[in-house]
Structures are given as C-alpha cells and as structure tokens.
Structure 1
C-alpha cells in the first residue's frame, strides 16, 4: 500500500483503570475508512486495521478529540511528515468573539462559521470585567476610542470561540467584514458586521488579525496552563440544563438549534463547549443507569466528541424547556410534536440532538455539574 493512502497521528488516551496517560500512533486509511493503532511505549499493535465508519477525515487535526471504539483520543501531533504537510499546512486557529450587541444573534453567526467550512473547537460565554477588557485590548490603550470600547465590551456577555480551519485567521476576518458596520453594509452586505453590527465600536464581532494575535487571544480566553480564564456566566436560578449532543455539533446543527431556542423565547444565560470523558458521562447520566435501556449508548454518544452545555433561563424552566425539546424518540416527536427540537434535529433515540433536564429539581444540579464541577 502506498504512503498516499494513509495518515498518521500521535494520540493520547487517559486510561481510567490504570490512571495513566497512554500514547498511541493512530493510522487512518481514507480509502476504506479503516483505522489501526500502535502502542508507542510497548512498541506493539494495539488495534489491528479495522473499518470504522464513525471517524471522518475532517475530524483529524491536531488538538481535536476523537472517539475510536469508545476510547476518547486526544490528537497531540502528526505521526509523520507526509501527514503534517498534507493535512496541517494551511490549518490555523483563530479567536472569534461575538460582542454584547450580537449575542442574541449567536445562532446565526455560528451557522455562518460552519457554512464557511470552519470548525468551532472551543466555546465559552463570559462577561468581561473592566480589567480583563483592558488586558485583552491592551494594544488599543492609546487610541481615542479605548474607553468607549471597554464600556461597550463589558456591558453584557460575550461569546468567545476558537475556530479551526484552512487559513482561519483571514477567513473569519473576511466573514466579519469591514470594522465599521456602516461601511460593511455598503461594501460587504452579507458580512456579519453588515447584518448584525451598528457602527465602528458596536460591530457584532472581533477576529484576531494575525497568527500571533490569535495565539495570544486564545490563551486569554482558553488558557492552556494558567487556569481557567474569564469565568462563565451561569446564574444557577430559574434555570435548566441543555446539552447539544456531539452528533448535532458534527452535523453543524449548533447554530440552528441555538436559533430555535431563542426564537421560542428561552434565554441562553451560559454556554460552554465540553469534551466529556467516559467517567464524567457515566456520572452525569447516573440517574438513568438501570432505568433506561439506552443508558450505555447515551454515555457513548455523550463522550463521542465535543458537546455544548447551555444554561437555559425561563419561568418554570425545566418543565417548559423539556416540553420544547419534545419526546426522547425523534420519530415519535415528529408525529406528535413536529416543531420540537428533537423532531426537527434528532435522528434516533440516542442521537436525538439535545439532552434536557428531566426532573424539575435537577435543573440547577445539572447546570452546576457543567459550569461548576467540570469548569472548576
């Protein structure tokens, strides 16, 4: 078999039984969608070449988490020069920030990002303090608009996103359009700022202007070493939990689901993208163990890729939001309640687009699990 037909990655898997981080070489053969794994330390085959339909070529990039036979692997590097030059050369990361004036339109903006072929690898809603905003915009300190900018960007929540894709820095800036929303409306009518911005300061979004800025700005919101970054916006009152499931995220339905939620009158008061490991998924779904036949499959789906946790605020939030999600089985939902989230976006009882809190008394507990315990 020629080199052309195979991509190699270095991957890590946390083995909960041994409490060890194990390292593998993961090989992917796009011709038939098969995978093979070698144990790096013991220098032996761990998984013989096997067809595995759930893994797609577009999921394979350094930094991503992928599931192979229910093991969550973290791709930490390219396994050879060929893979690096073929898959890695144009891949970039950049920061996209949705500013306070456009947070209600985040569903539309996220959809624009996916439609442009970019992937969202991290996401967090936060409310910047004055000091955090000063640190973030330090380079503009001497400019006349600095104070107005800080006032605006601290006036409400923002949504920070890490975008990944070919030439992501220039790609996202192109989608944003000119800095001044009025100029954007005449020069780039379909751009984010033309559609959702007001002027030069209230201009819907921010994008890193270079790879160096992107690295600094991503580290600000999603620090790799120094702890947690700006805190999340969870309120823990009059709320319920919604999780956009991994299959819906990989099918680029996130924006559409967020739109449907806000159009139905629910407020998304906190948001965070999470990579669940198996132990966390089992713990979160523990109440269904031995009660629901699909428990094992529900756990496998939740840790099969990134999911998005939301805190939803509304009167009697757990009950009203659960009704809006519809029956757990999308087929039944389509017959009985065709406008519910699961009817519109679900595929089957396991891949049913969203999880929502079932019992009213668990609403705050489930929100706390994601926004206090996992974010702690």
Structure 2
C-alpha cells in the first residue's frame, strides 16, 4: 500500500448550536485508518490527522453518512480528481421495493439484503395512491397484467428502500430472481422470489432494470426535494413506539429484530429510517435529562447513524411491547429475561438495540414525533 495515499471527500455537518450546515474536506489515509478535516469556509485545519478505527474505506462513498467524534458527516462529493477516479465505480444505488405480499416477510428479506452486502440508506413503509402506482408502472401500460398490477400494488402497504452496493442494480436483480416465481423456483431456488413469491403479480419484490430507471424510481419514492412522495402508514391509534438504534442497524440486526417482533405477535403498522441530529434527539429524550446518568451517551448513540422508527400496534392483551424489549441493561436482561430483544441483541445500557416507550400514555406522542413532526 502507498504510504502517502489518501482519499478526499467533501462532507457536510449540521451544527445544531449555530443552526448552520458546515462544509469540510474529509481526508482518509488507508495506510493507518487515520482521518483529517479541513474547514472549507475558513480555510483552516479543523481536525488534525488522527487514527479513527470506526471509519473504514468501504464506508466512504457519495451519499453515505459517517460519524467522527460524535459528528454525523454526509459525504456529498469527491474532494479531488484522484479520489473520483479511484472510487467512483465502487458504489451504486438502486430501489428495493417490497410489495404488499412481502411485508409480512420484511424481516427475512431485509436480512437477506444485509447478508448480500448491501447497505440500506433509506427505508419507508408507505401506501401508494392510484396515481403514484400508475406513475410507477407507466412502462407496463400496454401489458396484459397492467390493471392487476395497479390493483395489487395499492392493496396494502409497501416498503421502499434505497440500497447501496457494488454494481447494485445488477446484483439486486440477481438476488431477487426472475419475475415469475415458478421459473425462479426451478432455475434460481435461492432467490427472493423463489422463496416468497406466488405468481407474476404477487412476486414479492421489485428491482429496476437499469441505473437510469433506478434513479427515476428512487425519485418517485424518495423525492430529492426531501418532501412529498407516498404517505407513511402510521395509524396513530392504539400504538406504541419502538426505535431500532444505530448500532443495531450498522451491525445488520434490523431484519432479525423485525422477525422477533412479528413472531412475538406484534403488528408493525409503520416503519421509517431517520437520520437524527443532536437537537432532535435531545428533544425526543428530554424526559430522561437529569434523571438518567447516561443521558449524554444515549443522545450520542441515537444520532450516531441511521435509526429505524416503528409504530407498534398494542393489540396483545397478555403482553405489552415493553415486556418484549426487556430491562434497559442487556446484562440484566440476559439473566432475568433471556428471551427479550435487549437480551438477544443488546450490548450495554447505551447500545441496547431498541428504545421503547416507557409509559403507555406516551406511546402516541412518541409515534407522532417521528411520523408527523420529523417526517414533515
């Protein structure tokens, strides 16, 4: 490895104290995993070169977010031509769409996506209007199954994801298999459609055929303006809130946690990935300030990367969702409640896999915070 080799990215960081979006050059030295930052506005060194074990070369691609010393940095561009030439072909993004018949198997499919090496950078459970469905299926207008496709895709919630990976468009198409699940079962039995599909309409998942189509479809589900797009599926009734924490997302545990929640008999009625900043997290956790000794560390964890918020329907009269989560300390949970989410997936009191609403009367307020206030 070239000792002098370095890669440069332009990154943005939202400074909550000044309410400003600040821009830096982020330099990464692969020889020792060290990082350095330069303030682009003031033309000065912001962070001297220092080793930082939590950032790796595979994390550095346009559109991704990395956290360095509690600052969540959004990589928006290459900082020089050398970096652009060396790294521009490494990562690609595409749409992974779970159709209504796939939603009950969302945990298994997301687990397959993670194990295949994809990174989920956006995720939202949503309901498509007829107009959104016709926009999505505009290229199928002349096909015999067109009306059936429109009817099915609007019959229930879908889960849209932006996934990132090497040659993502082609690799995702390989992973999902042929459009006809019968053909998939025969010729490609390990594919998603072979495992979960029924017929050419109810074939569980969709993937764009080209990079251009992927860009167009991602814009439909996740508009670049940051607003609009299909509505979320939150019901705001008889509900409680669950947040799957950033460490669990980065460790590839999202699918497994969704499976555990479903298998415990709980319905997930809304789901969305959020990138929170310090101000949002402190506002959300305000009730714990001055009460919980680890408050500062709790805040840092929740904005250290993407989290996934869930609206859980509290229909189970024999067991509350909080009981499924278990004690806040995973070590205690493993001794007293070994079957709980925190016992199975948690690491310590801060990285304990999930947040859940403590008081029943706060469930709706927490759900509204994510699915009404933050989304808007």
CA deviation map 1:186-209 (0-9, x unaligned): 011111001001011100000011
Q: How does 1:229-268 map to 2 (within 5 A)?
A: 229-268=229-268
Residue in 2 aligned with 1:324? 324
SS in 2 for 1:5: coil
Q: Which deviates the most, 46-55 or 105-114?
A: 46-55
Deviations, residues 270-290 of structure 1 (Å, cap 9, x unaligned): 010100011001111111000
Counterparts of 1:150-161 in structure 2, within 5 Å, are 150-161=150-161
Matches within 5 A, 1:50-129: 50-129=50-129
CA distance in 2, matches of 1:82, 1:49: 20
Aligned partners of 1:318 and 1:358 also within 8 Å: no
Range with bigger deviation, 361-370 or 64-73: 64-73
Contact kept in structure 1, 2:266 and 2:316, CA below 8 Å: no
Asked whether the 8 Å contact 1:97–1:207 carries over to 2, the reply is: yes
Could you say which residue in structure 2 is the equivalent of 1:369?
369
- Structure 1 residue 4, shift from structure 2 partner: 5.8
Counterparts in 2 of 1:107-256, with a 5 A limit?
A: 107-225=107-225, 227-256=227-256
Of 5-14 and 264-273, deviating more is: 5-14
**Residue 226 to residue 108, structure 1, CA distance change in 2 (3 Å):** closer
Q: Secondary structure at the match of 1:61?
A: coil
Mapped to 1, the partners of 2:318 and 2:33 lie a distance apart of 41
Runs of 5+ consecutive residues of structure 1 not aligned to the other structure: none
Q: Determine the C-alpha separation between the residues in 2 that align with 1:53 and 1:287.
A: 33
1:76 deviation in Å? Answer: 0.4
> Hey, what does 1:360 align to over in structure 2?
360
Runs of 4+ in 1 over 4 A off after TM superposition: 1-4, 316-319
Say how many residue pairs are matched.
Answer: 376
Query: C-alpha distance in 2, partners of 1:206/1:4?
Result: 44
Compute the RMSD of aligned alpha carbons: 1.6
Listed as ranges, the matches of 1:266-285 within 5 Å are 266-285=266-285
Residue 240 of structure 1: SS of its match in structure 2?
strand
SS for the counterpart of 1:122 is strand
TM-score, structure 1 as length reference:
0.97
Cα distance, 1:87 vs structure 2: 2.7
Gaps of 5+ in 2: none
In 1: Cα distance, 2:86 partner to 2:318 partner: 47
